Amino acid sequence: MTELLYLNDHYLKAFDATVVEVPDLRSIVFDKTAVYPRGGGQPSDHATVTLDGNRFEIVESTKTPEKVIHQLSSELNEFQRSSALNSNVHVVLDWDLRYKHMRHHTALHILSGVVFHKFEAKITGGQIYAERARLDLSLSDLSKEKQALIESEMNRVVSENREVRVEWLSAEEALKRSELYRLSADLLPKGVDRLRIVDIVGFDAQLDGGTHVARTREIGRIKISKSENKGKDSKRIEILLC
Ligand SMILES: [Zn+2]
């Protein structure tokens, strides 16, 4: 079971770990990791790891219920593969990239908070990139006036510099708070006894597995760069950070 360091410390930029598995010449599993694996619309982190004196890039990571598998940009040779197993390694994240993902992720939570509180809209899809992010929302109309309102409300929350906090709830407690469930599809994790909440204190809290900034002012100004009609009850909003 990989210990997921990024769940409780979003600002961990480097860490020491033990290699517990080398499934093939291009992938590696640590006992613990701060390297975020693609999920919930947030892309994988990039990182570097030194194995037997050689630097390898981690370019993509995926999560199974038990572990996080990190993909390397180049192959290990058989000797490196066997000497890597059980060795202690130092891993350094590409912090510029991760921090951009964090700023965009929190910005999307502000967007979904605004449209949920103002228009009861839920999320039907979304994606974070380094330079932009988008959400698909169950909105029947999205006029210019509505967009202007959404943009100004988002920037109000940014300027309030609200704290962003991680909390854990039992599944039983979480079920009593339906407002925490923001996905329109039933994507409730089954058989999990603790659920993770990302709380923009005093504004909006949602179930979430991603990484976020500590204070909303770190996001910078949010601009709606594009909107698209994705059907009768679905609108796409794309944002940029300035
Ligand atoms: Zn999220």
pLDDT digits (tens, 9 = 90+) for 124-172: 999 999 999 999 999 999 999 999 999 999 999 999 999 999 999 998 8
Ligand 1 centroid to 212 CA: how many Å?
Answer: 8
Token code pair at residue 24: 């093939």
Ligand 1 centroid to 81 CA: how many Å?
Answer: 35
Nearest to 164 by CA among 108, 242, 118, 124: 108
Q: Is residue 154 within 8 Å of residue 114, measured between CB atoms?
A: yes
Tell me if residue 143 falls in helix, strand or coil. coil
- Spell out the domain ranges in the chain: 3-93, 98-241
Superfamily, domain 98-241: Threonyl-trna Synthetase; Chain A, domain 2 (3.30.980.10)
Ligand 1 centroid to 141 CA: how many Å?
Answer: 23
Residue 28 binned pLDDT confidence (cut-offs 50, 70, 90): very high
Cα–Cα distance measured from residue 238 to residue 16, given in angstroms and rounded to the nearest whole number: 37
pLDDT exceeds 90 at position 182: no
pLDDT exceeds 70 at position 190: no
Q: Is residue 209 within 8 Å of residue 40, measured between CB atoms?
A: yes
Give the HSE-up count for residue 211: Cα atoms under 13 Å, Cβ half-sphere: 26
| DSSP 8-state secondary structure symbol assigned to residue 201 | T
Tell me if residue 147 falls in helix, strand or coil. helix
Q: Is residue 48 within 8 Å of residue 92, measured between CB atoms?
A: yes
Ligand 1 centroid to 135 CA: how many Å?
Answer: 10
Ligand 1 centroid to 89 CA: how many Å?
Answer: 30
Ligand 1 centroid to 146 CA: how many Å?
Answer: 23
pLDDT exceeds 90 at position 112: yes
- This model's pTM is above 0.85: yes
Topology of domain 3-93 in CATH is Elongation Factor Tu (Ef-tu); domain 3 (2.40.30)
- Let me know how many helices (H) and strands (E) the chain has, helices first: 4, 15
Give the HSE-up count for residue 28: Cα atoms under 13 Å, Cβ half-sphere: 34
